[in-house]
């Protein structure tokens, strides 16, 4: 069965990040042979004076394909893990959704989008999770992280939000590769420029040490921007971080 | 470069788009600590925008480790 696991509000300014904890949960799923996991996405939620958050107010979500018999043990593990590993003054929340069993995907996606714009309540999150048949639980502090955990699942399901955790490793001669080489060396699905068009296989791209992708149309997409006066005549380069931030 | 808000927090005056100002502030700051990779947003790595001690607000960020 395919599930989405999302955690939120686990860190403070000195602790491990929420992304690292999500990665550790995903690793445990793999090493325990419960199933296979996919790349983690980071979803930015609303920053507002009425929303208490300890560090960033972003949630981290990943998909896993597991044997049905491991669902309960996975939820129990993740819950204990958050109690153990979250920062003392954080308010961690955990959401686990079985993708094929979500009662109303559109409602969940709308909830995710609202959490980027409105101040939401825990009560509303729990009601929504119950109505849609989704596991939602809190594991310390005020438990406020349930809002972001549920929203993160909705945003991941939307296929159009957030950036992928981690950087892609690509080998290129003198840091120059073709779009085709990027696709063959990584799990990136498309190399796209800011106007929305995909690069051709043979288009050359100048790499740097910041190859980060975003979730667009359900795909892992590398955004590139035009170069200026490239010495080798390469037309494309990695998109500036500032633009990436605005995309995800 | 900074102002104090109604909560007593030290808030960056430059908002979220003053990359040069945020880099300049971090350059002078002994408390700068690069945030985890997932939260890096500015191209200039040594920038308050990339510092573990900044907390985003609706318009800017507050520094939680003022000198
Ligand atoms: S501690 Fe504050 S002033 Fe210093 S770099 Fe970080 S955010 Fe900027």
The alpha carbon of residue B60 is apart from the nearest alpha carbon of chain A, in Å, by: 10
Q: What is the pLDDT of residue A239?
A: 93
Q: What is the pLDDT of residue A54?
A: 67
Average pLDDT, chain A: 94
Domains, chain A: 2-163 (3.30.70.2200), 167-247 (no CATH)
User: How does pLDDT run across A116-130, given as a tens digit for each residue?
Assistant: 999 999 999 999 999
Cβ–Cβ of A58/B39 closer than 8 Å?
yes
- CA A155, A158, A160, A162: dihedral to nearest 10 degrees? 20
List B residues 27-56 in contact with A (Cβ-Cβ < 8 A): 35-43, 52-53, 55-56
Q: What is the pLDDT of residue A114?
A: 97
Q: What is the pLDDT of residue A243?
A: 84
Query: Which of the two residues, B16 and A243, has the higher pLDDT score?
Result: B16
SS3 B12: strand
User: How does pLDDT run across B3-51, given as a tens digit for each residue?
Assistant: 998 888 999 999 999 999 999 999 999 999 999 999 999 999 999 999 9
> Would you say A3 and A71 are in contact if contact means Cβ atoms under 8 Å apart?
yes
Where do runs of H (alpha helix) occur along A138-205?
Answer: 145-158, 179-185
The yes-or-no verdict on residue A136 having pLDDT over 90 is yes
Residue B59 contacts A where some CB pair is shorter than 8 Å: no
The reply to whether ligand 1 has any atom less than 6 angstroms from the CB of B54 is yes
CA-CA distance, B28 to B51, in Å (whole number)?
Answer: 13
What are the backbone angles phi and psi of residue A187, rounded to the nearest 5°? -95, 20
Q: What is the pLDDT of residue A57?
A: 84
Cα B50 to middle of ligand 1, angstroms: 9
Chain B residue with Cα closest to A246: B41
Q: Which of A164, A127, A131, A165 is nearest to A146 (CA)?
A: A127
For residue A24 the two structure tokens come to 């550790």
CA-CA distance, A146 to A115, in Å (whole number)?
Answer: 11
Question: Using a CB-CB distance cutoff of 8 angstroms, which residues of chain A are in contact with residue B64?
Answer: 13
The yes-or-no verdict on residue A55 having pLDDT over 90 is no
Question: What interface predicted TM-score (ipTM) does this complex get?
Answer: 0.89
Cβ–Cβ of A165/B38 closer than 8 Å?
yes
The reply to whether ligand 1 has any atom less than 6 angstroms from the CB of B62 is no
The yes-or-no verdict on residue A154 having pLDDT over 90 is yes
- Which residue, by CA, sits nearest to atom 8 of ligand 1? B48
CA-CA distance, A167 to A212, in Å (whole number)?
Answer: 5
């Amino acid at each position: 069965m395919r599930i989405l696991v999302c955690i939120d509000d686990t860190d403070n300014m000195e602790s491990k990040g929420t992304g690292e904890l999500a990665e550790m949960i995903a690793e445990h799923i793999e090493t325990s042979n419960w199933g296979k996991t996919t790349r983690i996405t980071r979803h930015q939620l609303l920053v507002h004076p009425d929303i208490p958050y300890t560090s960033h107010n972003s949630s981290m979500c990943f998909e896993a394909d597991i044997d049905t018999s491991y669902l309960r043990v996975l939820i129990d593990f993740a819950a204990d893990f958050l109690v153990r590993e979250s920062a003392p003054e954080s308010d961690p929340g955990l959401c686990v959704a079985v993708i094929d069993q979500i009662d109303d995907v559109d409602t969940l996606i709308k909830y995710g989008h609202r959490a980027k714009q409105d101040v939401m309540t825990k009560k509303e999150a729990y009601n929504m999770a119950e109505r849609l048949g989704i596991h939602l639980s809190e594991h310390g502090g005020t438990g406020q992280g349930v809002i972001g955990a549920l929203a993160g699942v909705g945003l991941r399901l939307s296929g159009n939000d957030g950036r992928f955790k981690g950087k892609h490793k690509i080998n290129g001669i003198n840091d120059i590769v073709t779009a085709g080489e990027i696709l063959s060396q990584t799990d990136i699905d498309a190399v796209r420029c800011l106007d929305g068009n995909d690069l051709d296989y043979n288009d050359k791209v100048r790499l740097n040490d910041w190859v980060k992708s975003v979730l667009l149309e359900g795909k892992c997409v590398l955004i590139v921007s035009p170069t200026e006066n490239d010495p080798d005549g390469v037309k494309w380069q990695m998109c500036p971080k500032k633009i990436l931030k605005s995309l995800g | 470069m900074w102002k104090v808000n109604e909560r007593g927090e030290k808030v960056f005056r430059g908002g979220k788009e003053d990359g040069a100002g945020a880099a300049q502030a971090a350059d002078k700051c002994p408390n700068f600590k690069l945030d985890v990779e997932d939260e890096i947003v500015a191209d200039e790595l040594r920038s308050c925008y990339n510092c573990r001690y900044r907390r985003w607000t609706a318009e800017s960020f507050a520094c939680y480790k003022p000198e």
